[in-house]
């Protein structure tokens, strides 16, 4: 998550294949393949998505998927979403997003949580449903909105903030705020610089074809990621480590920026819709 990613998977009936260590075919199990993927742009937290809710982003991704693939809503048997930090008003974000995207209220949907691989777990759940013959078509993915999360600070931070309430002068307040900044130093910037540089190159060359534009209500249409920012090793070296002090290696420069993600997937059995989409990838069984 992390914005909106959508993967579409489609299954076909398994026919006898030679047994190998890794194969797309498995006796008694239907093939499961990915046929399409879209997402809305990845944006830094606190920017254009700041006033939205997680299900708003998930809905936009689902609608983008339906527009690109022309998959009918009524052929979807199940919807699964993954999320790490749940919004209490929409704890089952899969259900809220599905209804917002125009899916029937008779289409079941549930949300899973498994730390940073929550959306992967949602897709794995969808694959399992198809492989077991429980469903023909499954949408799976995930969403995260880092612009609005439950705030829980460490005890040291809480004490500092409480003390800040008693500070009377600007000098006292600034002195307390300066204690919040940790001491740290950076080592892994070269890899991060390469990642941002390649991402910028792909963006400029129009290679990020999975991105679908998203019109933010009351704001402009977002059409590209805004966290791709190539810098220089000299500038990155000025930042200090965020965790293990003073020898930590993770800084704001070489970490993933906080984004709002929404991944999903659709799976379909071979005897489902008459015109299945061409696959992009397949699930390999061992």
**Domain boundaries, given as residue ranges, for the chain:** 5-146+259-282, 150-181
| 88 DSSP assignment | G
Please report which helix (H) or strand (E) contains residue 35, including its range. Answer: strand 31-38
The pLDDT of residue 163 is 77
Quick one: 5-146+259-282 is in which CATH superfamily?
A: Thiolase/Chalcone synthase (3.40.47.10)
Q: Which long-range contacts (CB under 8 A, 24 or more apart) does 150-157 make?
A: 150/85
Alpha-carbon dihedral angle through residues 225, 38, 97, 82, given to the nearest 10 degrees:
-80
Neighbours of 220 (CB within 10 A): 8
Strand 214-215 and strand 263-267: pairing? unpaired
- Residue 140's DSSP bridge partners are 80
Give dist(CA 6, CA 63) in Å, integer: 10
Per-residue pLDDT of the chain (286 residues; tens, 9 = 90+): 444 444 443 333 333 344 455 666 667 777 887 778 889 999 988 889 989 999 999 999 999 999 898 889 999 999 999 999 888 788 899 999 999 999 999 999 999 999 989 999 999 999 999 888 898 888 888 899 888 776 666 777 777 777 777 777 877 777 776 666 443 334 588 889 999 999 999 999 999 988 989 999 999 999 999 989 899 988 888 888 777 676 677 888 888 876 655 555 666 554 445 566 777 778 877 6
From the list 41, 54, 49, the residue with the least C-alpha distance to 3 is 41
The pLDDT of residue 152 is 67
The pLDDT of residue 14 is 33
Residues 6+ apart with CB under 8 A from 103: 62, 73, 76, 79, 109
The pLDDT of residue 186 is 41
The predicted model scores a pTM of 0.68
Instruction: Report, in angstroms and rounded to the nearest whole number, the Rg of the chain calculated over CA atoms.
Output: 22
Task: Write the pLDDT tens digit of every residue in 14-54.
Answer: 333 444 556 666 677 778 877 788 899 999 888 899 899 99
């Amino acid at each position: 998550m992390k914005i909106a990613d959508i993967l579409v998977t489609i299954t076909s009936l398994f026919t006898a294949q030679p047994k190998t260590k890794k194969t797309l075919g498995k006796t008694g199990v239907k093939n499961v393949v990915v046929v399409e993927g879209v997402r809305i742009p990845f944006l830094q937290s606190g920017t254009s998505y700041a006033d939205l809710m997680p299900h708003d982003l998930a809905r936009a991704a689902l609608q983008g998927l339906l527009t690109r693939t022309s998959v009918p809503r009524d052929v979807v048997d199940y919807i699964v979403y993954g999320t790490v930090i749940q919004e209490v008003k929409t704890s089952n974000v899969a259900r809220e997003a599905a209804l917002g995207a125009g899916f029937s209220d008779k289409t079941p949907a549930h949300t899973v949580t498994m730390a940073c691989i929550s959306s992967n777990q949602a897709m794995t759940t969808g694959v399992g449903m198809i492989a077991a013959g429980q469903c023909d078509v499954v949408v799976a993915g995930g969403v995260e909105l880092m612009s609005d999360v439950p705030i829980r600070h460490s005890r040291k931070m809480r004490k500092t903030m409480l003390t800040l309430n008693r500070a009377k002068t600007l000098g006292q307040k600034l002195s307390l705020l300066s204690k919040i900044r940790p001491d740290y130093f950076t080592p892994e910037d070269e890899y991060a610089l390469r990642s941002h540089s390649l991402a910028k190159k792909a963006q400029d060359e129009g290679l990020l074809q999975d991105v679908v534009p998203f019109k933010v209500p009351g704001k402009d249409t977002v059409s590209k990621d805004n966290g791709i920012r190539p810098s220089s090793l000299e500038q990155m070296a000025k930042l200090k480590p965020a965790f293990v002090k003073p020898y930590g290696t993770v800084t704001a420069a070489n970490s993933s920026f906080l984004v709002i993600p929404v991944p999903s997937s659709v799976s379909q059995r071979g005897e489902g819709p008459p015109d299945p989409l061409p696959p992009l990838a397949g699930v390999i069984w061992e």
